[in-house]
Chain A
Amino acid sequence: DIQMTQSPASLSASLGETVTIECLASEDIYSNLAWYQQKPGKSPQLLIYYANSLNDGVPSRFSGSGSGTQYSLKINSLQSEDVSIYFCQQNYDSPYTFGAGTKLELK
């Protein structure tokens, strides 16, 4: 199975700040990577697919990058509504595995 390692596990940032979350795959996943946002008590929502494609309706302050085994999600100008848990997921090979999540809080 492909292991997805997210870092950091938790993150505290101030409004307006830029934050970056990393995701490391145990093997090359050829940009087959998605990012999801899960707000407390809600279902996950797709933010980014194929490493850098923004899903419809997602604010442009969210962006994804990376290739090979290393990927990142960047949030510019942090807003209060961005407080969530963020998960990465590889959709390259079965089983389609997720990272353990990064909890983003406001400082």
Chain B
Amino acid sequence: QVQLKESGPGLVQPSQTLSLTCTVSGFSLMDYSVHWVRQPPGKGLEWMGRMKYDGDTYYNSALKSRLSISRDTSKSQVFLKMNSLQTEDTAIYYCTRDPNYGTFYFDYWGQGVMVTVSS
């Protein structure tokens, strides 16, 4: 069955870089796009960016200068790196699957990983 699982540090210091991994199973990264979406505690959802099935990337313009998404198809992993973290980046970070070619809605979600930005 389709599964996505996020992993990474729970605590990051301000101004540092966040590195997260999304490990997928039940589908191929060469057939489906994977997106990152985040949710500050008690708040709404923000789309961050996408790793397309062909390896192309696409970012939210508000985060583009700080964000990088990459992948390792042999390991079924998608990576998120975001630099210059601030307290407002404290959130649950989800990786999600796009069910079709460039539809930009999300049919499967990981469990999420809570990231706290604090010294």
Taking beta carbons and an 8 Å cutoff, which residues of A are in contact with B?
32, 34, 36, 43-46, 49, 55, 87, 89, 91, 94-101
Contact = CB atoms under 8 A, between A and B. Distances in A.
B109 A44 contact: yes
Interface of B: 43-47, 58, 60-62, 94, 99, 103-107, 109-112
Contacts of B62: 95
A55 B112 CA distance: 21
Contacts of A98: 44-47
Nearest to B43: A100
A45 B109 contact: yes
A36 B45 CA distance: 11
A55 B58 contact: no
A43 B109 contact: yes
A35 to B, nearest CB: 10
Q: Which 6 residue pairs of A and B lie closest in terms of their CB atoms, listed nearest first?
A: A91-B104, A43-B109, A34-B105, A98-B45, A96-B47, A95-B60
A18 B47 CA distance: 31
B52 to A, nearest CB: 13
Given A94-B61, A95-B61, A95-B62, A49 B105 contact: yes
Residue from B94, B104, B107 whose CB has the most chain A CB atoms within 10 Å: B104
B61 A101 contact: no
Contacts of A96: 47, 104-105
